[in-house]
Structure 1
Amino acid sequence: NTIINGVGPASDPEGSDTVRRTIHGIDAQIVTNVAQHTGNGLEESELNAMMKQLWDCGSKNVDIMLVNGIQKRAISSLIMQGRGYYAEDSVLKNVVGVYESDFGIVRVLLCRWMPDDEILFLDSGRIKVLPVKGRAFHHKALASTGDYMMGQVVGEYVLEFRNENAHGKIHNLPV
């Protein structure tokens, strides 16, 4: 959830006694390639327009379209308009797992923490979650009494988000 929606503090980003350190999430970092939806429903032309916009900005490998359940169903419903089936078909599939446009092939990934009105277009090769030096997840033993042992799991990670122009989002979609 923090990786996608995290918002870093405006002051003391390194943290202090009163301000905890937080990750500035992917959604908050995408500011250049943001398309505002203005129509009634999601249209394929909007997906293509965003892919072209990212390609024009120099991105050549947008490979993930991150959506929540509402927008996943909207994308899947795009294929139902021109789809036929036969009477002997016993299964009707209405699922889009991969979207192919003139500007690349994108996996459509479902994420429950995505905002209801957004679709993120991401280049996974430019995003990493890395441990802060010396703070990878580890078990730290605490004081023990007799046979009673205590400990805690400690770890701190950071989001490495390269080339903000390589990513985009469509915002204000109907829910």
Structure 2
Amino acid sequence: MTVPTGTFQTFTQKNIREDMINAIYNVDPYKTPLLNMAKRTKADQTYHEWNTDALAAQNLANAAVEGDNPTSQTLTPTARMGNNTQISNKTVQISGTSQAVIAAGGTNKMGYQLLKKSKELKRDMEGILTYNQGRSAGSSTTARTSAGLPAWLYTNTVFQTGGSPSGANPTLNANGWTDGTSTRTYNGTTVAVTEAMVKQVLQKVFNSSGECPEYALVSSVNKQNISAFSGPGTRFTEVEDKTLHTAVDVYESDFGDVKIIPDIFLAHSGDMFFINPDYVRVAYLRPFQTVPLAKTGDSDQKMLITEYTLEMGNEHAHGAIFDTNG
């Protein structure tokens, strides 16, 4: 059918307004379970310290003679531990013209960008706290760094040995503790996580601390691998977690229930951390704050900044599986 001659059509019309809704659709995965579950505490120096202790080994020869005077026993002092604070920030700079024009998403462009950057900053921190880096005091030209979980966990770990390189835990210091200065070595070969590995690490944690870790932080791949466990006695339930404000799967182990939490911001997807939140904290020297920066031209600039460190209360309370193909 032919359009009548002279019909005015949109193809030549010059005054049509755009059709754009006043919203911005942002894929926004920002849940940070380790930051949420770790207790929050205060740091007073760039090197944050705490004390760690452990009970003496069981003495099966502890039998005293009636009426005898007790002999003096050697007391073991607490281990003085510490971690360096790390500064993380995000900046937003918006020109005066950009703030003046009408755009989708509302008029508060600075507020929108700051909200977006605050979520990005938390995602960075989640990865940094689980990153295989050692602590460093830094210098006038080098940033300080906080030791992440892999640099602290030694006693209750399951990993692949052999291969090139051969998997290895961090080095212990002279007092027999990890101190965050040494990082772990990953194996060159990865394997799929098995229920036997999970049972092994939970048994290690129980034997070492007498407790069962409450959470397991895993990648999305390892979450699916765990959900596929189908051995005899494998039991899963679903509960509402008030700390993480979400429904989670619970693995019913021989030593207690473990909530399986997928964490897509793990620094290394092959790492699986079994966490007792009573023995890990994030210490803040400077809590989250927004700092206006000097105005040097036709723009406004603000910085989101925080200074924090990982406080590993006692590594015996936690566990980890490394070298998985998560």
Normalised-by-shorter TM-score class: 0.7 to 0.9
Distance 1:153 1:110 in 2: 27
Letter in 2 for 1:17: S
The percent identity for this pair of structures is 29
List gaps (5 residues or longer) in structure 2.
1-126, 162-189, 235-247
User: Are 1:67 and 1:120, in contact at CA under 8 Å, matched by a contact in 2?
Assistant: yes
Correspondence 1:147-162 to 2 at 5 A: 150-162=301-313
Distance 2:324 2:300 in 1: 52
* SS of alignment partner, residue 157 of structure 1: strand
How many Å apart are 1:41 and its aligned residue? 4.2
Change (3 A) 1:174 1:155: closer
Q: Does 1:32 align with 2:155?
A: yes
Choose which of 194, 200, 206 in structure 2 pairs with 1:55.
206
How many Å apart are 1:8 and its aligned residue? 3.0
Q: Which has the larger radius of gyration?
A: 2
Q: Does 1:67 align with 2:218?
A: yes
Distance 2:261 2:155 in 1: 22
Choose which of 141, 144, 152 in structure 2 pairs with 1:18.
141
Distance 2:215 2:312 in 1: 14
Q: What is aligned with 2:134?
A: 8
When structure 1 is superposed on structure 2, of 65-74 and 140-149 the one drifting more is 140-149
User: Are 1:62 and 1:106, in contact at CA under 8 Å, matched by a contact in 2?
Assistant: yes
User: Are 1:98 and 1:107, in contact at CA under 8 Å, matched by a contact in 2?
Assistant: yes
Q: What is aligned with 1:110?
A: 262
Q: What is aligned with 1:101?
A: 253
Change (3 A) 1:76 1:22: same
User: Are 1:59 and 1:165, in contact at CA under 8 Å, matched by a contact in 2?
Assistant: no
Letter in 2 for 1:5: Y
How many Å apart are 1:6 and its aligned residue? 5.0
Q: What is aligned with 2:272?
A: 119
**1:79-108 deviation line (CA, Å, top 9, x unaligned):** 49999xxxxxxxxxxxx7111111111110
How many Å apart are 1:43 and its aligned residue? 2.7
Higher relative contact order (CA 8 A, sep 6+): 1
List gaps (5 residues or longer) in structure 1.
84-95
Choose which of 157, 169, 173 in structure 1 pairs with 2:320.
169
Distance 1:149 1:173 in 2: 46
How many Å apart are 1:44 and its aligned residue? 1.9
Q: What is aligned with 2:89?
A: none
When structure 1 is superposed on structure 2, of 26-35 and 159-168 the one drifting more is 26-35
How many Å apart are 1:152 and its aligned residue? 2.4
